[in-house]
Structure 1
Amino acid sequence: MFVANHLSWIDILLLSGATGTAFIAKAELRRAPLVGWLCTLNATIFVSRADRMAVTAQIAQLRDTLARDWPVTLFPEGTTGDGVTLLPFKAALLAALDPPPPGVRVQPVRIDYGSATHELAWVGDEPGQHHAARVLKRRGSFVATLHFAEPFAPADHGDRKAIATEARRRIEAL
């Protein structure tokens, strides 16, 4: 299971291209033009933030996906950040790792856009279509780097909150 910081929709292209991972995404994306269709092609696990009663089923779905050896990425910040400071991690879905399916490890990842971070980060209330247009109109190239920390066995770190703390510690150290 990949656990990564989150700056932009570009992160999804980078991680899926490099690792073949599926993603955990907010349920609203399922209905988004083009994006929703792309999500369904990649075994995206949709979660409802509004339906607190659905968390148990979402955790079970994540655990089942991981047990089938399908790589999944969680952005535990729950939203996009500025790429400089990590936002607080939300640990609820990491309960899928307590206990973990056999063989599952946590792979912390830091996504880095270097000098283009400020231009590419999707921060605040900017509508998705505006952000996409702004990024696509941008001139020049940029370097994107995926930094992979040492993976760890979730069972060695206790419950979901301890797993989140360890993943965050490793991402911050990169």
Structure 2
Amino acid sequence: MTTTMPLADRRIAAWGWPLIALRLAAMLALLVASVALYYIFAPFTARNPVPRRFLRGVGAIAGLRVQVRGARPARRTFFLANHVSWLDILAIAGRTGSAFVAHDGLAQIGPLRWLCEMNDTVFVARHERRSVSAQIEQVRAALSDTGALTIFPEGTTSDGTGTLAFKSSLLSAIEGDSDIPVQPVWLDYGAETRTVAWVGEEPGLDNALAILARWRPVDLTLHFLPPLSPEDRADRKRMAAAARTAIEAARTGF
């Protein structure tokens, strides 16, 4: 696994704590309002618009500034993205309304599972090979229900200076389904990549607090790359390889 900056560099200066407190208070207020709106809209819409706006709002409060470049995603799209930070989820969901595939460790945290389920998150057992077929069915159902779904095929976060190997097992859910575009997405944090990356043994809370303590914004460019061609979708392994190649080509300029 790649590594990021030494944990000692995550120390928060005294003036960072008031900003953390202010941002957490703003996020809590947004959460309370969003939960109320979610249940108000729930009886009237199949795809509730509140989670998308909530996640986008949380990103803005955290200092995330997002620019979007590239091919405009279709309403119903299967996104394959590199994974650098928890901010990735706020950015992609906020701009596309996408649901996500997440490892089942998050499902063990009650409040977090509740929030994830509001955005139709699909939980999968990362190391449970016996349940792959069931997980594929979950992914298919989520695509049908939500329209847009994002997978981080690296299976974990990287330091953003390269992409890890893309795992292809869950891509079986869209083998042979030419009606759903498969679109690679490159998340580019520019010069701040190694600063915001959450990798290695760093506790998630430490990473989150360090980002919330920043007075400078976090700039992120979402590059929606061209959807994969029919040839690149011949099978799940070719899909994974083609998506990774596209992201690496965008990242390196080749």
TM score, norm. by length of structure 2: 0.64
1:1-174 alignment runs, 5 A limit = 1-32=78-109, 34-68=111-145, 70-100=147-177, 103-153=179-229, 157-174=233-250
Could you tell me how far apart the structure 2 residues matched to 1:165 and 1:49 are?
20
Could you tell me how far apart the structure 2 residues matched to 1:33 and 1:144 are?
30
Structure 2 residue matching 1:143: 3-state secondary structure: strand
Q: Which amino acid aligns with 1:36?
A: R
Could you tell me how far apart the structure 2 residues matched to 1:60 and 1:106 are?
18
RMSD: 1.6
The more displaced of 54-63 and 16-25 is 54-63
How big is each residue's C-alpha offset from its partner over 1:104-147, in whole Å with a ceiling of 9 and x where there is no partner? 01010000111111110001011111111111112311211100
Could you tell me how far apart the structure 2 residues matched to 1:10 and 1:164 are?
23
Could you tell me how far apart the structure 2 residues matched to 1:149 and 1:159 are?
20
Structure 1: state its 5+ residue gaps: none
Contact 2:120 2:146 in 1 (8 A): no
The structure-2 alpha-carbon separation of the partners of 1:154 and 1:120, relative to structure 1 and needing over 3 Å to count, comes to: farther
Contact 2:100 2:150 in 1 (8 A): yes
Could you tell me how far apart the structure 2 residues matched to 1:34 and 1:114 are?
32
Structure 1 residue matching 2:155: 3-state secondary structure: coil
More helix by share: 2
Structure 1 or 2, whichever has the larger Rg, is 2
The structure-2 alpha-carbon separation of the partners of 1:44 and 1:154, relative to structure 1 and needing over 3 Å to count, comes to: farther
How far apart are residue 97 of structure 1 and its match? 1.4
Q: Which runs of 4+ in 1 moved over 6 A?
A: none
